[in-house]
């Protein structure tokens, strides 16, 4: 993936929202879509099933305009969370500059979270990418639900975040935590501009 093209002075970041089914990946994108001013957002492409589950993937391009002389674009993707769309997930993950893992904070979803997180690592390995080399942040979504239904961010960190990457509590439906997550992953991705692999 060419993050920076110095000849045409373009920066393109592909960020993939990963996680189990119904954890709120598409909701994240919808919230961002609603905040981006009209002239900066491309059309959000969403391929959903009849029951509104993401069938293939969602795609939201955002044009950040010219920054330091570089025309900068973010491309946000989601993967379908349902277990049986493994191939699609692998395809969407290809060439990702950064990954946001959206976990469902509900206690009864813990198993799904763990499995999906393992699936992410397996798919990265499939692309020949070492998971620790890919910028990654974790979002614990649905923190607005009643306390007794969900696990706290600390508890979730304990279960999922063995790599100690930045993690954020969020309520993607109403907005809190969405941009904090996006900002964190962007920061990590852009940090790589100064390192290798920019060509």
The binding site for another protein (CB under 8 A) comprises 4, 6-11, 32, 35-37, 40, 64-72, 175, 178-179, 182-183, 186-187, 190-194, 196, 198-199
By beta-carbon proximity to another protein, the closer residue of 51 and 194 is 194
The nearer residue to another protein, 9 or 132, going by C-beta atoms, is: 9
Least Å from the CB of residue 48 to another protein = 24
Q: CA–CA separation, 48 vs 144, rounded Å?
A: 25
Tokens, residue 85: 């769309």
- Cβ of residue 169: shortest distance to another protein, in angstroms? 16
Q: How many C-beta neighbours within 10 Å does residue 174 have?
A: 11
Q: Which residues contact 162 (CB under 8 A, 6 or more apart)?
A: none
Task: Tell me the closest approach of the beta carbon of residue 69 to another protein, in angstroms.
Answer: 8
Name the residue nearer to another protein (CB basis): 125 or 193: 193
Which of 50/194 has CB closer to another protein? 194
Q: Which helix (H) or strand (E) holds 90?
A: helix 86-93
Q: Rounded to the nearest whole angstrom, what is the least distance from the CB of residue 67 to another protein in the complex?
A: 5
For 50-65, letters b (16+ CB in 10 Å) and e give eeeebbbbbbbbbeee
* Closer Cβ to another protein, 128 or 195, answer by number: 195
SS3 125: helix
143: β partners: none
DSSP string spanning 170-198?
Answer: --TTT-TTHHHHHHHHHHHHHHTTTSS--
Rank residues 7 and 130 by Cβ distance to another protein and give the closer one: 7
Annotate 113-148 with b (16+ C-beta within 10 A) or e (fewer). Answer: beebbebbeebbeeeebeeeebbbbbbbbbbeeeee
Give min distance, CB of 1 to another protein, in A. Answer: 15
Closest distance between another protein and the C-beta of residue 140, in Å? 19
């Amino acid at each position: 993936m060419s993050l920076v093209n110095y000849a045409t002075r373009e920066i393109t970041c592909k960020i993939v929202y990963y996680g189990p089914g119904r954890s709120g990946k598409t909701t994240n994108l919808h919230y961002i879509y609603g905040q981006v001013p009209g002239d900066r957002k491309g059309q959000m492409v969403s391929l959903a099933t009849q029951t509104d589950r993401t069938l293939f993937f969602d795609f939201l391009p955002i044009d950040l305009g010219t920054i330091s002389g570089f025309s900068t674009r973010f491309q946000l993707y989601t993967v379908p969370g349902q277990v049986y769309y493994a191939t699609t997930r692998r395809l969407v993950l290809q060439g990702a500059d950064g990954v946001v893992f959206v976990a469902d904070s509900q206690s009864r979803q813990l198993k799904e979270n763990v499995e999906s997180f393992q699936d992410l690592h397996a798919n990265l390995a499939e692309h020949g990418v070492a998971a620790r080399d890919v910028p990654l942040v974790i979002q614990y979504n649905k923190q607005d639900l009643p306390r007794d239904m969900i696990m706290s961010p600390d508890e979730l960190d304990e279960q999922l975040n063995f790599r100690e990457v930045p993690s954020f509590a969020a309520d993607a439906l109403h907005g809190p935590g969405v941009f904090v997550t996006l900002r964190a992953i962007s920061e990590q991705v852009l940090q790589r501009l100064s390192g290798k692999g920019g060509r």
